[in-house]
Structure 1
Amino acid sequence: MKASVIMSTYNAEEWLEKVIWGFSVQTEREFEIIIADDGSRPKTKELLDRMREEISIPLVHVWQEDNGFQKSQILNKAIMAAQSDYLIFTDGDCIPRKDFVATHIKFREPGYFLSGGYFKLPMNISQAISKDDIFNQRCFDVKWLMDMGLPSKNKLKLSASGFLAKFLNFITPTKATWNGHNASGWKSDLVYINGFNQEMQYGGQDRELGERLFNKGLKSKQIRYSAICVHLDHARGYVNEETWKKNYAIRENTRKNKVIKTPVGIDSN
C-alpha cells in the first residue's frame, strides 16, 4: 500500500459514514483506512462492520475505552497499527475530494511533511449531503453549494486547480503547520519523535507534533489549495480554557527547548 489514512472519530456515525464514502471513491486505490476511535459506543463498530462489506478499501478499527478526550493516545495506537510507511491524517468529519489521497502521495518527499486545510460547511449543508452527492462530487462544486445556501465567501479552496492552486499554495500567508484534519508524513519520522504528546487534550496537540518535526530538522510543504476536503459542522463540547493553558505551556517548552521526542507518546502504550 502507498499510504495509510488515519482518521479520528468519537460517537459521530452519520458524519463518519459520509467521510468513508468519500475515501471509497478515491482515484488512488492503494491505501488503507484506519479509524482511530476514542471510545465510541457500539454503533460505530456496527457501522464499520457494515461498510467493510460495501467498500473495496481495507478498513481497520482501532478502539480504546472512553476516558475523556484522549485523541493523542488513540492516534498513537493508529500510527503503530498502520501497514504503510506513509501516513495521511484527517478527521471523521472531513469529506475528501476524490483526488485527496493521490495529491498527498504526489507531493510527499523525504525530509518533509505536508500541510493542508479544509473548507467549512454550515450545519444545514453538512446534514443535506448524501451518498450520491459524495459519489458525484457535488459537495465540492461551488455552484451546487451556493444553491444549497452556502454564504458568499472565498471559494478558491474548492475551485482552484493546476497552476492557480500551485500559485495560491505559494503565496498564502497561512503557515504550513501540522493540521490534524489534513496533514501527512512518513511513519518513521512520527515514530522517531514518539508520536503525539499524550499529556495534551484538545487544543494544539497537532501543532505541537509539527513543531517537534521541525525540531527534528524536517521542512513542510503547503498543499491547502491542492488537497481538498470539506468540514462537516458540529458542536465542540470538549473545549475548555484550562486545557488550552496547559497545552500552550507544553508547546512553549517544545519550542524553547527544541524538544524532539515527547516523554509521553507512542512508547507509553
Structure 2
Amino acid sequence: MQVSVIVSTYNQPEWLEKVLWGYNIQSFKEFELIVADDGSGKATREVLERLTPRLSYPLKHVWHEDRGFRKCEILNKAILAASTDYLVFTDGDCIPRNDFIEKHMKFRKKGYFLSGGCRRLSMDTSREIHLRDIESQACFNIRWLKQHGMRNSFRNNKLTRSSFKAFLLNFLTTTKATWNGGNASGWREDIIRVNGFDERMEYGGEDREFGERLVNAGIRGLQIRYSAICLHLDHARGYVNESALRKNKKIRKDTVCLKHVRTNFGIVKSEDSIC
C-alpha cells in the first residue's frame, strides 16, 4: 500500500455505499481505505459487512460511540490506524472520479499539502446516481448531469477531463489553497507533527483550522481543485449550531494570531504540548 484514504461518515449508508464503489474502480490500486465513523448505527455497519467481500481494496472500519459531533476525534483515530506515509482525506458523501487517487499521488510533494474541491449536487441529482453510473463514469459527464438536474455554472469546470485546462484553472484560480475536509491530502509525518485535528472543535471550520496549523508549521497548500475530482452528494446538516460555530471561530483566531503549530487537544493529549 502506498496511500491511505480516510473517509469520514455519520449515518449516511446510502451515500457511503456509492462512495465506496467509486474507490473500487480507481486507476491507482495501491491504497487502503479507512472509514472514520463518528458513531453511525446498524445500517452503516451492515453496508460495510455486505460490501467488504466485493471490494478490490482493503477496508478498515474505525468507529466510536455516538456522543454528538466528534469528527475530529474519529479522524485522529483513523490517522493512527493508517499504515502508509501519505494520507488522503475525504467524506462519505463525496464520490471520487476514477483518477482521484492517481491525481493526489501525482501532485504530492514534500513540504506541501494538496487542496482539492468538489462539485456539489442537488438532492434530486444525487439520488439519480446509481452503481452503473459510477462504474461507467457517466455521472462525471456534464451532459449526463445536466440531463439529471445539474444547472449551467462555472463550477462545472471542476469536472474537466483536460489536464491542460485543469492546470490552467488551478494556476489562475483566486481561491486560496486551504485544507478542505472533503478533498485534501498530506504527509503523515506533517499531520503527526501538528498533532492531528483539534478535538475541541465541532462542525464549522475544523478542517480549516487544521490546515492553518500546517501552514504555521511551514507546510504550504498546493491547489488541485480542478484535477482531483469528486461529486458532493446533498444531505441535511442537523449538526450545525451557533454555539459551536462561535467556539470554533475563537480557536481559529488563536491559531492564526498566535501562530499555533501543535494543538494540545489532538492525537496526543498534553497540557505541556508546545504551540
Common fold by TM > 0.5: yes
What does residue 177 of structure 2 align with? 176
Q: After the TM superposition, which residues 34-183 of structure 1 pair with which residues of structure 2 at under 5 Å, given as runs?
A: 34-154=34-154, 155-183=156-184
Q: Runs of 4 or more off by more than 2 Å in structure 1? A: none
Task: Name which of structure 1's ranges 42-51 and 2-11 shifts more when overlaid on structure 2.
Answer: 42-51
Alpha-carbon distance in structure 2 between the residues aligned to 1:148 and 1:213? 39
1:115–1:224 CA contact under 8 A, matched in 2 = yes
Q: Kindly state the Cα deviation for residue 159 of structure 1 after the two structures are TM-superposed.
A: 2.1
1:160–1:225 CA contact under 8 A, matched in 2 = no
Alpha-carbon distance in structure 2 between the residues aligned to 1:159 and 1:101? 16
What is the CA deviation profile of residues 101-160 of structure 1, one whole-angstrom value per residue up to 9, with x for unaligned ones? 000000001100000000011101101100000000011000001111211212111125
Report SS of the residue matched to 1:53: helix
Alpha-carbon distance in structure 1 between the residues aligned to 2:65 and 2:166? 41
Q: Kindly state the Cα deviation for residue 172 of structure 1 after the two structures are TM-superposed.
A: 0.4
Q: Kindly state the Cα deviation for residue 26 of structure 1 after the two structures are TM-superposed.
A: 0.1
What is the CA deviation profile of residues 152-201 of structure 1, one whole-angstrom value per residue up to 9, with x for unaligned ones? 21211112521111010011011000000000000111011110000000
Alpha-carbon distance in structure 1 between the residues aligned to 2:228 and 2:11? 26
Alpha-carbon distance in structure 2 between the residues aligned to 1:120 and 1:187? 28
What does residue 266 of structure 2 align with? 265
2:15 is the counterpart of 1:12: no
2:199 is the counterpart of 1:202: no
% identical equivalent positions: 57
Q: How many residues align?
A: 269
Structure 2 length as normaliser, TM-score? 0.96
Give the letter aligned to residue 236 of structure 2. A
Give the letter aligned to residue 137 of structure 2. Q
Tell me, which stretches of 5 or more residues in structure 2 are unaligned?
A: 271-275
Alpha-carbon distance in structure 1 between the residues aligned to 2:238 and 2:128? 23
Task: Name which of structure 1's ranges 159-168 and 199-208 shifts more when overlaid on structure 2.
Answer: 159-168
What is the CA deviation profile of residues 184-232 of structure 1, one whole-angstrom value per residue up to 9, with x for unaligned ones? 0001110111100000000001000000000101111000000000000
Structure 1 length as normaliser, TM-score? 0.98
* Cα RMSD (Å): 1.0
Tell me, which stretches of 5 or more residues in structure 1 are unaligned?
A: none
Report SS of the residue matched to 2:253: helix
